[in-house]
Amino acid sequence: MTELPSPGLRQGEPSSRAARRLLLVHAHPDDESINNGATMARYAAEGAHVTLVTCTLGERGEVIPPELRHLTGPALGAHRRGELAAAVRELGVGDARLLGGAGRYGDSGMMGIPDNGDPGCFWQADVDEAASHLVEVILEVRPQVLVTYDDNGGYGHPDHIQAHRVAMRAIDLAAERGHRIEKVYWNRVPRAVAVAAFARLKDELPALPFGESAAVDEVPGVVDDQRITTVIDGTAYAAAKAAAMRAHATQVAVAEPYFALSNDRAQPLFTTEYYELVRGEVQVGESDLFAGVGMDAGTGEGS
């Protein structure tokens, strides 16, 4: 099995001594590439230390390629772990972790199905216990910036909601233990941008290998434009994002600048990525997640 990259740092040691350190918390393999692939590639290329924590292996995901549909349960999870390793390589990210270790928390499936009640699934995890594993990563990496989902998980998936809860709780617990994360962002897409992108998709759909178009409100994190605080131009990293998404072949079919999930409904592949700052001081017209961050935090001072 392809292993995820990890620098193997000691607690409290600044990650790669990099001045800027970004932590992203996601629910399943593929979420990182779809939501933040261009952002991750950009900051990795600029020399920031980018750490990804994925909470489950996505064992209940629906598989797209017919030749891989025999993969279910743990076998699918193991395969998706390999896809995740390939994706982060495409993004240039050298630090990817699984919350609590591989297989600690199982995929919960979509909201409202019996799988949500599995005692081993992430949805059923004790939030403080799960957050404790993330706190250890925070104290090791000492990020100034954290990115995760909103309180609805972007679109209501139980694992995404739980990832939000665990991340926000871990931020508070880490502060109690001496490291304050300066800025916390939620993934967003401004509604006007989504509407314009779907209008272009409608015109181009006949030439695409997808059955139909998704709807704007199927895109996780769509909000009114005024809630957007930060815009990350990742167009220079469009190829890296698309390659990372292709690495998740069980879950994503890519036909740039569009993609589809297992429902075969096309949606835009955004290479400019959008965020809402929910903790920290926003800078006017932010185009950098680290805007206003005190870079003396590399030693833990001022953090």
pLDDT digit string, tens, across residues 59-68: 999 999 999 9
Task: Name the residue with higher pLDDT: 113 or 12.
Answer: 113
pLDDT band, residue 219 (cuts 50/70/90)? very high
Quote the pLDDT of residue 5. 82
pLDDT at position 209 over 80: yes
Quote the pLDDT of residue 220. 97
pLDDT band, residue 295 (cuts 50/70/90)? low
The reply to whether 302 falls in a domain is: no
31 marked as part of a ligand binding site: yes
pLDDT band, residue 194 (cuts 50/70/90)? very high
pLDDT at position 230 over 90: yes
pLDDT digits (tens, 9 = 90+) for 9-55: 333 344 445 799 999 999 999 999 999 999 999 999 999 999 999 99
Total number of domains constituting the chain: 1
Give yes or no for a contact between 42 and 257, defined as CB atoms under 8 angstroms apart: no
28 marked as part of a ligand binding site: yes
Quote the pLDDT of residue 92. 98
CATH code of the domain covering residue 182: 3.40.50.10320
pLDDT at position 8 over 60: no
Quote the pLDDT of residue 226. 97
Quote the pLDDT of residue 17. 58
pLDDT at position 298 over 70: no
pLDDT band, residue 3 (cuts 50/70/90)? confident
Quote the pLDDT of residue 95. 98
pLDDT at position 208 over 50: yes
The reply to whether 152 falls in a domain is: yes
The reply to whether 16 falls in a domain is: no
Strand partners, 24: 52, 147
Amino acid at 120: G
The mean predicted confidence, pLDDT, of the chain is: 93
Give yes or no for a contact between 55 and 91, defined as CB atoms under 8 angstroms apart: no
pLDDT at position 297 over 50: no
pLDDT at position 300 over 50: no
Give the domain extent around 101. 21-276
Give yes or no for a contact between 225 and 71, defined as CB atoms under 8 angstroms apart: no
What is this structure's pTM? Answer: 0.93
The reply to whether 294 falls in a domain is: no
The reply to whether 104 falls in a domain is: yes
The reply to whether 257 falls in a domain is: yes
Quote the pLDDT of residue 296. 47
Question: What does 122-189 look like in DSSP terms, one character per residue?
Answer: GGGS-HHHHHHHHHHHHHHH--SEEEE--TTTTT--HHHHHHHHHHHHHHHHHHHTT---SEEEEEEE
pLDDT digits (tens, 9 = 90+) for 146-161: 999 999 999 999 999 9
pLDDT band, residue 4 (cuts 50/70/90)? confident
What percentage of the chain exceeds 90 in pLDDT?
90
- List b or e across 229-248, with b for residues whose CB sees 16 or more CB atoms inside 10 angstroms: bbbbebeebbebbbbbbbbb
What percentage of the chain exceeds 70 in pLDDT?
92
The reply to whether 288 falls in a domain is: no
The reply to whether 13 falls in a domain is: no
133 marked as part of a ligand binding site: no
